[in-house]
Amino acid sequence: LQLNKLEEAANAAHTFFMANPEHMEIQQDLENYKTTSGKVSLIDREARQHMEDYSAGVRHYDKEEYELAIEFLERALKGYYSEDEDCQIMCEGPQRFEEYEYLDYKAGLYEAIADHYMQVLACKHDCVRELATRSGRISPIENFLPLHYDYLQFAYYRVGDYVKALECAKSYLLFHPDDEDVLENAGYYEGLLEGTVDPATIKPRKEAKVLLRRHKLESHLLQVAAAGLGYTYTEPNYWNRYGARQDEHSVPSSISSEPEDGPRLSLTKKPMPKPDRELKEGGPLLYSDVKFVYNSQQLNGTQRVLLDNVISEEQCRELHRVASGIMLAGDGYRGKTSPHTPNERFEGATVLKALKYGYEGRVPLKSARLFYDISEKARRIVQSYFLLNSTLYFSYTHLVCRTALSGQQERRNDLSHPIHADNCLLDPEANECWKEPPAYTFRDYSALLYMNADFEGGNPHGVKAVTKGQRCAVALWFTLDPLYRELERIQADEVIAMLDQEHLGPSEMNINPKDEL
């Protein structure tokens, strides 16, 4: 950009954004580049051609442009197998012995040779994941290779090439031999070919058979080696059938050109994984003053609710007053005063810190106790409204305020907090949210208790820019897993229990909140 090479700058920004889609400032930079340079088509410098072809094929498939879909998906398959060969070759080089520290590694010659070849084998086995992972991402596209054949079997059917349709269906069934939808499709294609071609002569594609046979052999050798050499190996499953082709334009036989009494062509959506628990809502709100506003359907989602009067206006004012006495700049963000945007100051405090300040007399103890009580009230409401049959634990509790910095608000187009999800990584290109670190994958529910409205800007998840005044809220995260209970909350519970004992003396208090979580 400083060299006035706008096109290169735009492509570099686009490449970064493809790997970091949650980075909203880059997205805004991209819009500026497009406006300034007039460039609409951007290039991802890290893109893999076989993935680009696959994405193009799926786009054409979704538009029912089946001949173009076939062209790109076949090209994607050719590129995939070529990349697989390269990946296998690259694994033949030096390997790191991940189970050992180099300076302490004292294996004998034969053990070292065995270690090396097991590392090579593990590297080759991992090519399935490598080739299914978009640049900059951690998680692969589930079921990536089989999906090519799944799309192709139906695309070939729609252009009237039933031999190719059956060939691709049989290729897909190599990976998932019990897939009822594709088994039914294969039987249907065989019926269409009767009298012209012997369906038994149509075989799955050779390259798919070879790769799958090699992959199974690698898995067997790795498991045998793990048992013999004494290390842990867990076989990953990157061909999970929950990564399925999603068809919005299913064609049952009753509306196709085939007779109604012929074989049915079942091409419906495959089911997504069921959650470990049944999702419910609409339970009691527990407190008569709490007002119901909107449910999940009205909020265009699932497991959502908007409530009012969770705390009174006077309690809001009291909590807002005490906030200035307990909050620290950059709390929870290692002291960074502006962790999300340079145009605002971020301050925060935990429940335990509030109780400590209350006990020490820096703020009224009653006000510090209020912070504890209202967060517990919110937890009870969430647990009751969503009809949870197990205990909901605090994962993190944070009173936060964002204050607009004067002189920095003109022509702002950034966000106070980038749009994000707390327990997964947003990937808008793949239309997925990946449950993997650094996301807090153990968080099951969250709640935001808004304390004031005398500011400008604010709210969705992200938070719009605060351009005037101060926006304060209590942010609450909950988990159903007791292993991830908030440590400071447990300590705060103990403090409250001690405070409730009338005989408790100051010498018996021991409040040591962590500086950071």
Give me the active site residues, please.
Answer: 471
d(CA 476, CA 396): 6
Mark 15-29 as b/e (b = at least 16 C-beta within 10 Å): bbbbeebbebebbeb
d(CA 21, CA 463): 17
Mark 111-149 as b/e (b = at least 16 C-beta within 10 Å): eeeebeebbbbbbbbebbebbbbbeebebbbbbbbbbbb
Strand partners, 348: 328, 400
Token match 């920004």: residue?
A: 13
Q: Give Cα separations from 11 to 37, 55, 232, 429, 504 (angstroms).
A: 12, 19, 42, 16, 65
- Could you report how far apart the first and last alpha carbons of the chain are, in Å? 38
Give the orientation angle of helix 365-385 with respect to helix 351-359, to 10 degrees.
150
CB-based contact 189:157 (threshold 8 Å) = yes
Tokens of 388: 């949870």
What DSSP string runs through 398-458?
Answer: EEEEEEEPTT--TT--SEEE----SSSEEETTTTEEE--TTS-TT--EEEEEE----SEE-
Burial of 303 (0-12, 13-18, 19+ CB in 10 A): middle
Burial of 509 (0-12, 13-18, 19+ CB in 10 A): middle
Helix (H) or strand (E) holding 476: strand 470-479
**Whether the bond into 438 is cis, omega within 30 of 0:** yes
d(CA 375, CA 447): 9
CB-based contact 331:350 (threshold 8 Å) = yes
